[in-house]
Amino acid sequence: RGCFETDKIIFLTSNSIWFAFSHITFSLNSRIEADPATFGLNDLPLGNITIFGQGADKLFGITRGTATLDFQNFVGTVSNTISITGGSGTFEGAIGTLILSENLTLNPDPTAPIRGLPLISGSFQTFQTVSEPRNTTAIFSIGLIGVGFLLRRHRTSP
């Protein structure tokens, strides 16, 4: 969403995730952080990531990691830890950790997309409220059985 440059570091945001790239002749090393203040960019909102599911199902989190782009060999790698901090729909109140790793294929054309297949592993938990079992039917059935015994006893007694 933006690009900032100071000295030999370029700051770039994409989908509210902050990247810091350091210049090296044919490669680019970066650190990925959710907090732009880490890079000296104060008064900016924290970055976040949203993973979309079906309908209203979403996971929310923050990410931290590294990326290396090798422009001489046209390859790159990305490694991130995604801390799940909540969710919506089925994932309401989710917490957990996901690990993302990706090998990239770069293109010499700077306008061409970077191609890669992200692999995500990890786990998260949701805390659902479980309704307590109802005793109404059991109590009603015991009451009917008791009334049946009383009526039977009343009919058989002289």
Report the mean per-residue pLDDT for the chain.
Answer: 76
Q: What is the pLDDT of residues 5-58, one digit of tens each?
A: 333 444 444 544 444 444 444 567 777 888 888 877 788 777 788 888 888 999
User: Would you state the pLDDT for residue 1?
Assistant: 33
Distances (CA, A) of 91 to 39, 85, 132: 32, 11, 21
Position with higher pLDDT, 152 vs 76: 76
The enclosing H or E element of 95 equals strand 95-105
Amino acid at 10: I
Q: What does the angle CA 78 – CA 81 – CA 84 come to, to the nearest 5 degrees? A: 135
Most confident of 92-96, 127-131, 134-138: 92-96
**What backbone phi and psi angles, to 5 degrees, belong to 25?**
-40, -60
C-alpha–C-alpha distance, residues 77 and 106, integer Å:
10
C-alpha–C-alpha distance, residues 136 and 41, integer Å:
61
Amino acid at 28: L
> Against a cut of 0.85, is the pTM above it?
no
In the numeric block, which tokens belong to residue 16? Answer: 């509210």
pLDDT exceeds 50 at position 95:
yes
